[in-house]
Amino acid sequence: MQVEDISAVVSGLKTLYDDAIAQINKSFGEYAKTGKREASATPCYPYLLVEIKTRKKDGVSPYAFVSIRGAGWYGTSITNPKIFADYLIDQLSSIEAAYEVDYYVGYCNHAIPVAFAIDPSAFEMDKEYSSRIGEYFPLPNLKHIHDDLADGAVEHPSDRPLPLSLFPALRTDYSLQRLRHYSGTNPEHFQKFVIFTNYQRYVDEFIEHAKKVVGKGNYTGFASPGQGVIEKAEDYRSDPAFKGPQMPAYHLIAENNEGITLINIGVGPSNAKTITDHVAVLRSHCWLMLGHCGGLRRTQILGDFVLAHAYLRDDQILDDVLPPAIPLPTIAEVQIALTEAISSVMSLTGQMMKRHVRTGTVVTTDDRNWEMRYEKLRTRLNQSRAIAIDMESATIAANGYRYRVPYGTLLCVSDRPLHGEIKLPGTAEAFYRSRVAQHLNIGLEAMSILKGEAQSGTLHSRKLRSLDDPVFR
pLDDT at 134: 86
In the prediction, which pLDDT does 431 show?
A: 58
Whether residue 64 is predicted with pLDDT greater than 60 in this model: the reply is: no
Q: Note the pLDDT tens digit of each residue in 301-360.
A: 888 999 999 999 999 999 999 999 999 999 999 999 999 999 999 887 778 777 889 999
Q: Whole-angstrom Cα distance, residue 36 to residue 427?
A: 65
pLDDT digits (tens, 9 = 90+) for 196-237: 999 999 999 999 999 999 988 899 999 999 888 999 988 888
Are residues 308 and 409 in contact, defined by beta-carbon separation less than 8 angstroms?
yes
Q: How far apart, in whole angstroms, are the C-alpha atoms of residue 349 and residue 200?
A: 30
Mean of the pLDDT values across residues 9-27?
A: 96
Band (pLDDT 50/70/90 cuts) for residue 63 is low
Q: What's this model's pTM, rounded to 2 decimal places?
A: 0.94
Task: Convert the pLDDT of each residue in 234-257 to its tens digit.
Answer: 888 887 778 889 999 999 999 999
- Quote the mean pLDDT of the chain: 90
* Range 190-195 average pLDDT: 98
Mean pLDDT of 65-92: 90
Answer whether residue 427 shows pLDDT above 60: no
Give the model confidence (pLDDT) of 145-181 as tens digits.
999 999 988 877 778 999 999 999 999 999 999 999 9
pLDDT for the residue numbered 383: 93
Integer angstrom CA distances of residue 128 from 39, 138, 233: 20, 17, 47
Half-sphere exposure of residue 283: CA atoms within 13 angstroms, side-chain side: 20
The tens digit of pLDDT for each residue in 396-425 reads: 999 999 999 999 999 999 877 666 566 655
Instruction: Work out the pLDDT band at 41, boundaries 50, 70, 90.
Output: confident
- CA distances 31 to 26, 140, 293, 368, 411, Å, are 9, 19, 54, 50, 53
Compute how many other C-beta atoms are within 10 angstroms of the C-beta atom of residue 40. Answer: 9
For 128, counting Cβ atoms within 10 Å of its Cβ (0-12 exposed, 13-18 middle, 19+ buried), the class is exposed
Q: How would residue 76 be classed by pLDDT, with cut points 50, 70 and 90?
A: very high
